[in-house]
Amino acid sequence: MKKYAKIRKMMERSCQILGSDYAILGGAMTWISESNLVSAMSNAGMFGVLASGAMDGDLLKNEITLTQSKTNRNFGVNLILMNPKLQDLIDACGEKKITHVILAGGIPDKELLNKIHSYGMQAFSFAPSLSLAKRLFRHGLDALIIEGSEAGGHVGPISTMVLLQDIMLNISEYPVFVAGGILRGELFASMLLLGAAGCQLGTVFACAKESIAHENFKKALLRASAKDAITPVQLDKKFPVAPVRAIENLGTAEFMTKQKEVLRKFENNEVSLEEGRLSLEHFWVGALRRAVQNGDVERGSLMSGQIVGVLKEEKSIDDIIDTILLEAENFLNKIKETIER
């Protein structure tokens, strides 16, 4: 009998959409989701996602080429909508024959989706409400990712549990992937039973053996509890700041100082809203780089989801996936036994 036959059967349609063996997406993490980790994810059978971060078109093309040299399996590219080089990034993905782009940091318009489709690529995106999700699908979105506030990095204000009931359970005709606070196979299987196309996991792979993140970064995450992963407050509604969940440290306090500085400049008409938000985004990118590449866990950004409270050890990607599938299969067998009693 084929190993993990039940959970594999439930993933078949989604795996055809992704071109992968398993309906598990890697959450795109700047400085972490690079060629080594993404190729290792795809080689292990899941769907790796390359983080473009603040790259320009040429840098992205180089990273895609490097990733393609390490795997012949499918992978996607995450694009940040506020990146001023967004159009060039889409062109880079199209030129390098990427099949899927995952759009984050905003709501894509119909024109942008049309451009992506003109290259034969599929477009995935995030949405915080049912009305926005339906609008995106009307405009041609291929799949949706709902990401709860439990997730790491840039997050919305709504929990996974609520998004499931508001969005996913009200959209059955389109593929919807679920992210935020997911690790164990029992929960993965439960999402599929509820109608999810699959799940996106990030923090656990940041701590994987194949991750190039500094050992200090990994150890800080593995030591942390769920309550340590916080989102800084927004100082003024006039200047909306995208919440970024990370382990609390000196860098978190420095972000609040930076936010005050940008808010003052905005109120004095020294910077526009867009310029100010981009400035804060650059702060996070730089702080994350210091933590991931240099191991500065005091002042660098330790972006992570609340699931850090469940992580206990550094494991290989193969081991992570195998554990999830085993837990999922055992859970489905238990349900079957319960029903048949």
Q: What is the pLDDT of residues 26-43, one digit of tens each?
A: 999 999 999 999 999 999
> Of the ranges 9-23, 101-115, 243-257, which one carries the lowest mean pLDDT score?
243-257
In the chain, which segments carry CATH 3.20.20.70? 5-213+311-340
Over residues 112-133, mean pLDDT = 97
Please state the rounded mean pLDDT for residues 85-106. Answer: 97
CATH of domain 5-213+311-340: 3.20.20.70
Query: Distance between CA 14 and CA 244 in Å, rounded?
Result: 29
**DSSP type of residue 27:** P
* Average pLDDT in the chain: 95
Query: Residue 2: what pLDDT?
Result: 65
- Calculate mean pLDDT across residues 242-247: 88
Q: Does the pLDDT of residue 301 top 70, yes or no?
A: yes
Query: Using one digit for the tens of pLDDT, what is the confidence trace for 181-228?
Result: 999 999 999 999 999 999 999 999 999 999 999 999 999 999 999 999
**Is residue 16 pLDDT above 90, yes or no?**
yes
Contacts of 126 by beta carbon, 8 Å cutoff, 6+ apart: 103, 104, 144, 145, 146, 147, 156
pLDDT at 137 over 50: yes
Mean pLDDT on 241-245: 83
Instruction: Quickly tell me which residue has 């936010």 as its tokens.
Output: 259
The share of the chain scoring above pLDDT 70, in percent, equals 99
Give the Cα separation of 134 and 174 in Å (integer): 10
Top-ranked range on mean pLDDT: pick from 140-154, 247-261, 270-284 = 140-154
Q: DSSP H helical segments within 201-312, as ranges?
A: 203-206, 215-223, 250-267, 273-294
Model pLDDT, residue 240: 79
- Band (pLDDT 50/70/90 cuts) for residue 239 is confident
Which tokens sit at 57?
């078109």
User: How many residues would you count in the chain?
Assistant: 341
Cβ neighbours around 89 below 10 Å, total: 22
Residues 93, 240: Cα–Cα separation, whole Å: 30
Q: How confident is the model at residue 279 (pLDDT cuts 50, 70, 90)?
A: confident
Band the pLDDT of 233: cuts 50, 70, 90.
confident
Average pLDDT over residues 285-305: 94
Give the per-residue pLDDT at 336: 85
In sequence order, which residues have a C-beta less than 8 Å from that of residue 185 and are 6 or more positions away?
A: 7, 323, 324, 325, 326, 327, 328, 329, 330, 331
pLDDT of 48: 98
Does position 1 have pLDDT exceeding 70, yes or no? no
